[in-house]
Amino acid sequence: MSAQSVSMPISSAKASARRRNRISAIIINSVLALICLAWTIPTVGLLVASFRPRDNILTSGWWAILPHRAYITVGATSLPRDTDLSQPIKIDNDTVTDQQLRDGVTLSDGRRVQWNSRRGRTLNVQQPQWTSDTSFTLENYQSVLTGQKYTYTLPDGTVKTDQGEDLSGAFLNSLTVAVPATVIPILVAAFAAYGFAWMRFPGRKLLFTIVVALLVVPLQIALIPILRDYVSLGLNGTFLGVWLAHAGFGLPLATYLLFNYISELPRDILESAFIDGASPFTTFTRLILPLSMPALAAFAIFQFLWVWNDYLVALILSVARRRCRC
C-alpha cells in the first residue's frame, strides 16, 4: 500500500472533523444569538416606549415605530342624529351594530369605520396604509424626573392634567445607598481574604468556616432582630444603618470569593516583597489589590446590582420612626 493511499483517508477524516466542528459552531452561535435577541428585544421595547407620547403608548405597541400597514383616518362621515343605536345601523351597503362601531368594523368595500363621537353620531373613515409612528418626546422623563405637569386625553375625549412624580430625589437616594454599600464590603472583605489566605494566626480555619457558614443565613429572618438593635441604637431611618446591613450580608460572599482568588496568587511575588522589606499592609496595597482587581470588579458589579434592586432592606431599615414594637 502506497503512502498516497494512506494519506487520503487521513485527509478525508480531518476534513470531515473540520466540517463537523464548523456545523457545531454554527449551531451553537445561532442558538446563542437567538437567546441574546430574545433577551434584548424587551429591553429595546422599554427604551423606545419611554420616548413615545403617553397616548401612543396606551394605543399601540412600541413596534409601531417600524413600517407596517395600519388603518389611517382619511375622512369622516355622519349618521342621522335620530339613529337608534340599539338597532342595526345601515352604512351604505353594510349593516353594523353599535358595539362593532365601538371596536371598529371593516366594510365590504375595504374601508374601516369607528366612532369618533358617539353622541354626535360621527364616524372616522379609515383605510389600510403603510405607516410608522415616529413621534418621540422627552415629556415622560421630564414628568418623572422633575415632577412636571403633563396632559393626556382619555378614551372618551376628556383632557386630564396630572402632576408627575419627582424621582430625582429617589434616584440620588438609591445612589447614596448603593455606592457605599458596595465599597464597604469590598474593602473589608479584601483585608479579611488576604489575612485568611496568607497570614497564619490562631483560629484562622475556624473563623473562615464561620464566614462560609454565614452564606446560608437568609436575609429575611435577620431583619427583625437587626431592626430591634437599630431602634435601640438609634440607627433606623439613617443611611448608615442601611449601609451596615448591606455590608454585613455581602461580606461572607465577598470574603469567600476574594479568598479563592487571592490564595491562588503566586507565592513568589509575596515572598519577594517580604524579602525587600515590605510590610503586610504595603504588600496588600501594592500587590494584592492591583492583582485582585478582576475579582474585586466582578463582586462590585454583583453587589451594586443587588443593593440597587433591593427594596425590602431599604423599606424596613430606613424607617424614620424611632419607636418600634418589634
For residues 108 and 138, give the distance between their C-alpha atoms in angstroms, rounded to a whole number.
42
Q: Are residues 231 and 304 part of one domain? A: yes
Phi/psi at 115 (nearest 5 deg)? -60, 130
Q: Which domain holds residue 100?
A: 67-131
Q: Are residues 225 and 96 part of one domain? A: no
Residue 82 falls within a domain, yes or no?
yes
| Residue 116 exposed, middle or buried by CB count within 10 Å (0-12, 13-18, 19+) | middle
The whole-number pLDDT of residue 153 equals 63
Residue 154 falls within a domain, yes or no?
no
Q: Are residues 304 and 179 part of one domain? A: yes
Q: Are residues 304 and 177 part of one domain? A: yes
The whole-number pLDDT of residue 36 equals 92
The whole-number pLDDT of residue 304 equals 93
Q: Are residues 175 and 126 part of one domain? A: no
pLDDT of the chain along its 326 residues, tens only? Answer: 454 554 556 667 777 778 888 888 899 999 999 999 998 999 999 899 889 887 788 778 888 888 888 788 888 888 888 787 878 888 877 788 888 888 888 887 778 888 888 878 888 888 888 888 888 888 888 777 776 666 666 655 567 777 666 677 778 888 888 999 999 999 899 988 888 888 888 888 888 888 888 888 887 888 888 888 888 888 887 888 888 888 888 888 889 888 888 888 888 887 888 887 878 888 888 888 888 888 899 999 999 999 998 888 888 877 645 444 44
Phi/psi at 135 (nearest 5 deg)? -85, 115
Q: Are residues 199 and 312 part of one domain? A: yes
**65 contact partners, CB below 8 Å, separation of at least 6:** 48, 52, 132, 133, 134
Model pTM greater than 0.75? Answer: no
Residue 60 falls within a domain, yes or no?
no
Residue 95 falls within a domain, yes or no?
yes
With the CA atoms of 206, 209, 210 and 211 taken in that order, what torsion angle do they form, in degrees rounded to the nearest 10?
120
State the total domains in the chain.
2
Residue 100 falls within a domain, yes or no?
yes
pLDDT digits (tens, 9 = 90+) for 227-264: 888 888 888 878 888 888 888 888 888 898 888 888 88
Q: Are residues 194 and 296 part of one domain? A: yes
The whole-number pLDDT of residue 150 equals 65
Q: Are residues 239 and 188 part of one domain? A: yes
Residue 161 falls within a domain, yes or no?
no
Q: Are residues 191 and 282 part of one domain? A: yes
For residues 137 and 52, give the distance between their C-alpha atoms in angstroms, rounded to a whole number.
6
Q: Are residues 127 and 194 part of one domain? A: no
The whole-number pLDDT of residue 323 equals 47
Q: Are residues 299 and 192 part of one domain? A: yes
Q: Are residues 179 and 124 part of one domain? A: no
Find the radius of gyration of the CA atoms of the chain.
33
The whole-number pLDDT of residue 154 equals 61
Point out the domain boundary residue: 131, 149, 180.
Answer: 131
Largest CA distance in the chain: 103
pLDDT digits (tens, 9 = 90+) for 269-280: 878 888 878 788
The whole-number pLDDT of residue 30 equals 93
308: left (phi over 0), alpha (psi -120 to 50) or beta: alpha
3-state SS string over the chain? Answer: CCHHHHHHHHHHHHHHHHHHHHHHHHHHHHHHHHHHHHHHHHHHHHHHHHCCCHHHHHHCCHHHHCCEEEEEEEEEEECCCCCCCCCCEEECCEEECHHHHHHCEECCCCCEEEEEECCCCEEEEEEEEEECCCCCCCHHHHHHHHCCEEEEECCCCCEEEEECCCCHHHHHHHHHHHHHHHHHHHHHHHHHHHHHHHCCCCCHHHHHHHHHHHHHCCHHHHHHHHHHHHHHHCCCCCHHHHHHHHHHHHHHHHHHHHHHHHCCCCHHHHHHHHHCCCCHHHHHHHHHHHHCHHHHHHHHHHHHHHHHCCCHHHHHHCCCCCCCCC
Count CB-CB contacts under 10 A for residue 276: 9
Residue 92 falls within a domain, yes or no?
yes
Phi/psi at 116 (nearest 5 deg)? -100, -45
CATH classification of the domain holding 302? 1.10.3720.10
The whole-number pLDDT of residue 8 equals 54
Residue 14 falls within a domain, yes or no?
no
CA 268 to chain centre: 43
Point out the domain boundary residue: 108, 131, 154.
Answer: 131
For residues 122 and 22, give the distance between their C-alpha atoms in angstroms, rounded to a whole number.
64
The whole-number pLDDT of residue 6 equals 47
The owner of cell 423606545 is 48
Point out the domain boundary residue: 105, 131, 157.
Answer: 131
pLDDT digits (tens, 9 = 90+) for 82-100: 787 878 888 877 788 888 8
